[in-house]
Amino acid sequence: MLGLGIIGCGLIGRKRAEALGTHWTLVACADPRRERAQSLANGYTHNPVQVFDHWQTLLTLPEVDAVVIATTHDALVPVACSALCAGKPVLIEKPAARSVEELIPLLELALKQTAIVRVGFNHRYHRAMRKTRELLDADALGELMFIRARYGHGGRVGYDREWRSDPAISGGGELLDQGTHLIDLSRWFLGKNLAVTCGKARTFYWNMPVDDNAFMLLETAEQQIAFLHASCTEWKNLFSFEIYGRKGKIEISGLGGSYGVEKITWYNLLPTLGPPETMAWEYPMSDDSWEKEMDAFYDDIVEGKQPQPGLPDALEVLKVVQSVYRGI
C-alpha cells in the first residue's frame, strides 16, 4: 500500500480521497483553506491524516509516496513541478495547465526526470467508456469515420462569480472545462491527434469574461471528423457521445447522477443495411471510475510505466483548446 498526499481539498480532491481502494492510504492533505483540508481528513477514517494549509510542507513528508494535485488551474503546474523535484509521482487533474506554454516546462521536467505524471482525464474510466474501448479494440465498428458529441450542464446561481469564471485563475471557460474531456475521448477513441478545422468559443448567457459554449469541428490527418459541443447553458444536464464506423455505431449516453443512467448502445450494421442489430448495456450502479483511475496510477508507479493519459496527451488537448481560443 502506498501513502498518498492530496493537494487541493475541494470537490475533486474529496472524490479522490473517497476512491483510494485497496492500494492507497491517505496520509496528508493540504489546502489554503485549512478547514477544507481538515474536513477531508476528518472524513477519512482508515488512519490519522496530517493537515496543512501550505502544500510545500506536505511534499517534504517521507510517508507521502505520491501526490494528487486537485488545485485551481493556476496552481497546477507550479505544484506539480515542486512535487517532481521532491521525487513524488503525480496525478495532476485535467487540464494540467492553463495553456500550452504553461505546460511545456512541466513536460520537459517530467521527461528529464523520467517522472511519472498521470493526467486526470477521468472520463476514460467510466464503465461505458471502458466497454466502448473493448468493442473498438475488437473491431466492432470497422474503420472509424466520425464522432459527434455533446456535453453540458446548466450552471448554478453565482456560477459567473466562481473561480472558473476568472480567466487569470482558470485560463478559460467551458472549453477548458468539459470541452477537454470531449477532446481527450475523441483522441483516445480515434487513436490519433486532432487539428481544428473550425472552432468557436462564445459567451451567450453567463455574465463572465470566459466562454459558456464551445463548438468544434476537429479532423485527423486521415480526414476523420470529431464534431463537439460543450456547454454550461445546457439546462438539463447532458452527455451524448456517438462513434460512427463503416460497420456500425456506438452511442454512449449519461454519466450517472444528474446526467442520467450511463448507457452504451451498439448498432451493428448488417450486409443488407436497413435496421441494424442492436445491443445495449446499462450501468445504474455507483460510478467506479475514480477508483479505477487510482488503481491505474498505482500500477504506473509499481510497474514503472508511463501513464496513459499523460502530459503528452494533455499537450495535444491544450493545442486544440488554444487553436479555438485564438480563432485557429
Last residue of a domain, one of 120, 140, 168: 120
CA distance 71 to 199: 28
Residues 112 and 11 in one domain: yes
Question: C-alpha cell of 187?
Answer: 483522441
Which are the contacts of 45, defined by CB distance < 8 A and separation ≥ 6?
A: none
CA-wise closest residue to 215 among 73, 328, 128, 129: 328
Residues 134 and 104 in one domain: no
Q: Flag whether 167 is in a domain.
A: yes
Last residue of a domain, one of 120, 150, 184: 120
Q: Flag whether 245 is in a domain.
A: yes
pLDDT score recorded for residue 52: 97
CA distance 215 to 76: 26
Question: What is the total count of domains within the chain?
Answer: 2
Q: Flag whether 312 is in a domain.
A: no
pLDDT score recorded for residue 16: 96
pLDDT score recorded for residue 132: 98
Band of the pLDDT at 46, cuts 50, 70, 90?
confident
The amino acid that residue 235 corresponds to is: W
Q: Angle at CA 313, nearest 5°, toward 310 and 319?
A: 140
pLDDT of 328 strictly over 80: no
pLDDT tens column, 201-252: 999 999 999 999 999 999 999 999 999 999 999 999 999 999 999 999 999 9
Last residue of a domain, one of 70, 98, 120: 120
Residues 182 and 201 in one domain: yes
Distance from chain centroid for Cα 156: 21
203: CATH: 3.30.360.10
Residues 273 and 167 in one domain: yes
Q: Flag whether 310 is in a domain.
A: no
Residues 165 and 101 in one domain: no
Sign of CA dihedral 86, 91, 96, 100: positive
pLDDT tens column, 102-155: 999 999 999 999 999 999 999 999 999 999 999 999 999 999 999 999 999 999
102: CATH: 3.40.50.720
Q: Flag whether 132 is in a domain.
A: yes
Which are the contacts of 263, defined by CB distance < 8 A and separation ≥ 6?
A: 128, 252, 253, 254, 280, 281, 282, 283
Provide the residue range defining the domain that includes 135.
127-286
Residues 155 and 279 in one domain: yes
Band of the pLDDT at 45, cuts 50, 70, 90?
confident
Residues 210 and 113 in one domain: no
Residues 159 and 220 in one domain: yes
pLDDT score recorded for residue 101: 98
Q: Flag whether 311 is in a domain.
A: no
Residues 132 and 279 in one domain: yes
Residues 41 and 147 in one domain: no
Which are the contacts of 150, defined by CB distance < 8 A and separation ≥ 6?
A: 228, 229, 230, 231, 234, 238, 239, 240
Q: How many Cα neighbours within 13 Å face the side chain of 250?
A: 29
Band of the pLDDT at 314, cuts 50, 70, 90?
very high
pLDDT tens column, 67-109: 999 999 999 999 999 999 999 999 999 999 999 999 999 999 9
pLDDT score recorded for residue 202: 98
Q: What's the whole-number mean pLDDT along residues 12-33?
A: 96
Q: Flag whether 314 is in a domain.
A: no
Q: Flag whether 302 is in a domain.
A: no
Arithmetic mean of pLDDT over the chain:
97
Question: 217 forms bridges with which residues in the sheet?
Answer: 198, 227
Residues 19 and 75 in one domain: yes
Residues 275 and 132 in one domain: yes
